[in-house]
Amino acid sequence: MKLTKKSHACVRLEKDGRTLVIDPGTFSEEDAAVGAEAVLITHEHMDHFDESRLRAAMDANPGAEIWTLRAVAEKISAAFPGRVHTVGHGDTFTAAGFDVQVHGELHAVIHPDIPRITNVGYLIDGGKVFHPGDALTVPGRPVETLMLPVMAPWNKIAEVIDYVREVKPQRAYDIHDALLTDLARPVYDHQIGTLGGAEHLRLAPGGSADV
């Protein structure tokens, strides 16, 4: 499986000539989802969900479909009739040849005064890749490659480190990193890499790796 990091929280997965994209939001490239056969959205926040990027993907491939939770599906089902599937915690499905399991229900707490929204994570091909969206969800099964939300208004580095320890992946690649400056990256790289207990890796936008 080829993993390509797009800006911020967006990831492209390619296998057997088929492509699945997760979370093409406003911080991602405008064509981040173009060429995808399947698009998965974890939650409704704009840095993970942008209708114009979905429109680009849907127009480029009339057979492309979207899987997402109810809060997002209600916003876009009319725009893409028959091409949006609603999923929730515990669901399993196949999209673009990838086996997907849905884990999690709620976004992490940003502040007690901000109501929590729904959020799901996607476990791909039995644990090859796990993208948790905006939560520190532990899928409860082995994970080879964890997409790690490294910097967000709702987390701190101690929580990120403990999350890696709890999931116990073989490797963790940074996502949710648009707010993290290059000046601060060495601090995060050192602390997560030293204390997380897993190989800690980073791809620049457009960079790829085989997983």
Domain count, the chain: 1
Whether 208 maps to a domain, the answer reads no
CATH, residue 177 = 3.60.15.10
Whether 107 maps to a domain, the answer reads yes
Whether 211 maps to a domain, the answer reads no
Q: What is the pLDDT of residues 129-183, one digit of tens each?
A: 999 999 999 999 999 999 999 999 999 999 999 999 999 999 999 999 999 999 9
Whether 210 maps to a domain, the answer reads no
Tell me which residue range forms the domain holding 105: 2-201
Q: What is the pLDDT of residues 23-60, one digit of tens each?
A: 999 999 999 999 999 999 999 999 999 999 999 999 99
Range 123-145 burial, b when 16+ CB lie within 10 A, else e? bbbebbbbbbbbbbbbbeeebbb
